[in-house]
Structures are given as structure tokens and as C-alpha cells.
A and B are shown apart, each in its own frame.
Chain A
């Protein structure tokens, strides 16, 4: 809890909530698409749209570990991070490791492509379609659906890689990454002697990001 100085907040609650909701939603989205439950697929898809939009906004105005600029800056230290891993000199990173930054960007990009193409997709029978498909022709909508289908394979591969990486850290590097993603916290001693950036949750920014994401999601839901 907040009163415990021995444990420091790495992942704020919004990041964690979004992450675990995505873990639930991706299989549901896959299953509803496979089984043809398109009304559910659209509802879950819109929910996912809201989550991804919030995450992208949170990457601009969120807590330090959520923000994209510090993440990009970390990519430069990828070679030294990998060298440390090789030399068995692993030590935890506050926030995303340089390798994790690449993974998160790839996952967010794949999710963004998946959602955007889904909005414009039309099924082969012209019976089911995304909320914005009214703006495109049948042929264009079909192309969006093809990308939607292909990109899901990319997304699934990236998720597989993500899970494999966590397993490798767990069993090879002996580092448990799932715990902090649940509690949000790590022992302060993990970062002993480091100058840590301020990672405080700012409620007004939180409310602003939520309102924007919610408003866009509702607008889409009402559009089609």
C-alpha cells in the first residue's frame, strides 16, 4: 500500500487495469469473431478502442513509466542492457526495460492497426460491418477486413513473444515480472542508489484522458 516505503510504485493502477482488461478482451474478440457473434465483437471492439485510446493519451500525459518520450529515450541503452543480460548482470529497470519498450511499441502499434481496420471492415456478405464502414465502399471495406484478419496474426505473434519473454525472464533470468504488473510495486531496494523520476498519478490528467477516451468511444458507438 501507499504507506509502505519499502515498496515503490512502478505501474500505476490505470496501466495495470488497462493491461489486464486487454488480456481478457483479446481472446474474447478472437472468439466472437471466429464464432460470428458480431454484435458482441463490435461491443468488445469498441471497449478495446477506448482502452487503446486511453493508453495512447496516457503515453503523452500519464505517469512517468507510462509516457512514450522517456520510453523512446531508453532505446539508446538497448546495447548495454543486452550486454548486461549476457554477462548475467541483470538488474531491474524502473519502468520498461529498453527491450520492453520495443515490445510495447510493437504491441500498441498492432492493436492500433487492428482497431482502426476493424472500424472500417465489411464482411464478405455485406451484412456485418464496423461502425465507420458507411464511409467506405464495399471493396475498400473488404480490404480493411483482409488487413484486420492478417494483422490479427501479427498481434497474436507479438502476444506470444511477450508471454515467451516473461517466461524466459522468469525461468532463465529468475525475474518475476507478473507480480509487479498486478501490485504495481517493486521493492525499493531494487533501485537502491538510483535517482528515480517522479511517477505520481495526477488525478486531473487521469480524468482528462478518461473523458476524451470515453467521449470518442461513445461517439463511435452512436455513429454506427
Chain B
């Protein structure tokens, strides 16, 4: 047997396994000229991508607030109502967040998949589905029935997932 060899090999193997594990998240996109191209709406590609990411984050935060309150023994309706109002407001112009040229080719870190621009009709339908579900969630939240809120919240979350499953990079 050659235990000396194994002792060197094992940490090396572990190191390799680690490296391959982290590698996926460490892709540093080269700074591209595409990122600074100005779009018809006046924003650069980079600004557009970052703006929509900021918007989506606001929605994520609002969802967490609702989710937390629904988990709580006695949900704070005012908090749910405030968070539910954010979603329709912040998603009103969502269909405009994805102009041509703001896909992964732009060289800006984005999880938006190129298939968005190949199936824009379906993509926009899914945006409308979210907007409708979010509007209903806001209405139901104003009504104050926790069971109904939970159900409307689930439906709204489903419209997010429907789009993300197809059009967002699975990390």
C-alpha cells in the first residue's frame, strides 16, 4: 500500500470538488460594450438590467413580508395590506423591463434567459397573469380575510414561478 500517496491525494480531491462547486457562481462577465448601449427608453442596457433587478427585489421583499405575516399566529393585516399594495404598483410596467438587447449577451450579470425574446408573446402573457393576480391579492388583502389572502398569495406566487421556471436561469 501507499498511504503517503493517498494522504496527498485526498485533500487534493477535496479541493478539486470544492473548486468545481464554487466555479458556477464565479463567472465574471467581461465588461462589454453592449452593456453601455443606450436603449430607446434612454437607459443603457446595464441600467435597465439593474433597474429591473432592483424592482424584482422590492417584490421579493414584499412577498417575504406577506409570507412572514401569514406564518405568524396573529398576522398583522396592516403590514400585509401595505406589502400587497407594493406589488401591483411596482409591476405596472413590467412588460417594458425586458427590451431587446437586455439578455445575457449584454455582458451584464443577469439570469434572464434568451428564450424570453424568442417567446415574447407568452412572456408578456405571463406578466399580465402576475399583474392580474397581484391586483386581486391587493383587493383581497383590503378585505382582511386571512384564508383568502393566503389563497390569493399562493396564486400570485404561482404566477411568479410559472415565469421563472421557464425564463430565468436555474441556479
Binding site for B on A (CB under 8 A): 36, 82, 85-86, 88, 122, 124-127, 129, 133-134, 138, 141, 150, 153-154, 156-158, 160-161, 164-165, 168, 172-173, 224
Contact = CB atoms under 8 A, between A and B. Distances in A.
B12 to A, nearest CB: 11
Contacts of A224: 71
Nearest to B154: A127
Contact of A88 (B1, B62, B68, B164): B1
A222 B161 CA distance: 26
Given A125-B160, A126-B59, A172-B1, A157 B68 contact: no
B13 A164 contact: yes
Contacts of B72: 134
Main secondary structure of the interface of A (DSSP, over half): helix
Contact of A157 (B4, B7, B17): B17
Contacts of A122: 64
Contact of B71 (A134, A138, A157): A134
A153 B160 contact: no
B157 A156 contact: no
Given A124-B60, A125-B164, A156 B17 contact: yes
Interface of B: 1-4, 6-7, 10, 13-14, 17-18, 21-22, 25, 57, 59-65, 67-68, 71-72, 157, 160-161, 164
Contacts of B65: 126
Nearest to A174: B1
Nearest to A224: B71
Contact of A129 (B3, B59, B64): B64
A133 B68 contact: yes
A126 B67 CA distance: 8
A82 B1 contact: no
Contacts of A165: 10
A168 B6 contact: yes
B117 to A, nearest CB: 22
Contact of A126 (B1, B7, B64, B71): B64
B3 to A, nearest CB: 5
A199 B111 CA distance: 54
Contact of B157 (A125, A134, A153): A125
